[in-house]
Amino acid sequence: MSELVDKVVEALRSRFQAEVSTFRDETTLWLKAQQIVDACQFLRDDFQFDMLEDETAVDYWPQETPRFHVVYQLYSYPHNERISLRVPLDGNAPSIPSIVSIFPNANWHEREIWDLFGIRFENHPDLRRILMPHDWEGHPLRKDYPLGYEEVMFTFNFDEIDGRKPYAKRYPEG
């Protein structure tokens, strides 16, 4: 870890009680959902982490608490350092504050996460589906969403296959 990352870790630890983990020289700070906006603003203003490189989510179904992790990669142009933030979310109606007010390019990243994972972003200016059609039901990147295949249906086994066929629409929201 470089000096700057050490300082960032220390600051976030004392200010937000963040937990720290390191894997393959990448430092990850674990935060709570309600802290993410303050933490991003703090990192941007005090440590010049001025670019949101990436924002994504991971689903740990069938584990429910926490079921999702939202992962942020922040990059600092002046210091050439990268830091990763991770926010665990519970499975039932997950939601997290949006960071569009701090990094405007989070807009599409958060729309994508809403679209594919069904994680709601509070105070997002335009939370619509982005990749899937607007009338799609279900969130495809969730682990309980089937990858999709077609079993051949004949008259004699139609009802049987239809009963267990993983139609996207059989999986309710939430």
Partner 1 sequence: MTEKYEHIDESTLDGMRTLVTEEAVEGKTVLLNMGPQHPSTHGVLRLLLELDGEFVVNCIPDIGFLHTGVEKNMEAKTYTKAEVMTDRLDYLNTVGNNLVYCLAVEKLVDLDVPPRAQAIRVILTELQRIASHLVWLGTHALDLAAMSVFLYCFREREMILDILEMCGGQRMMTTYFRPGGLWRDVPVEFEDAVRHFIKIFPARIKEYEDLLTNNPLFIERTKHIGVLKPEDAIRWGVTGPPLRASGVKHDLRKVRPYSGYEQYDFEVATHTDGDTYARYLVRIEEMRQSLRIVEQALNKLPYGPVKSNNRKFVPPPRSEIGTSMEALIHHFKLWTEGFPAPKGSVYVAVESPRGELGVYLEGDGGPKPYRVHWRTPSFVNLQVLPLLAKGHLVADLIALIGTIDIVLGDVDR
Binding site for partner 1 (CB under 8 A): 23-24, 26, 28, 50-54, 56, 58-59, 71, 73, 77, 80, 82, 84, 103-105, 107-108, 116, 120-124, 126-135, 140-141, 147
Least distance to partner 1 from the beta carbon of 105, Å?
Answer: 4
Least distance to partner 1 from the beta carbon of 13, Å?
Answer: 21
85 vs 5: CA distance, rounded Å = 12
Element at 10 (helix H, strand E): helix 3-16
Nearer of residues 42 and 139 to partner 1, judged by Cβ:
139
With a CB cutoff of 8 Å and minimum separation 6, the contacts of 119 are: 57, 68, 70, 89, 94, 95, 96, 113
Nearer of residues 67 and 124 to partner 1, judged by Cβ:
124
Least distance to partner 1 from the beta carbon of 26, Å?
Answer: 6
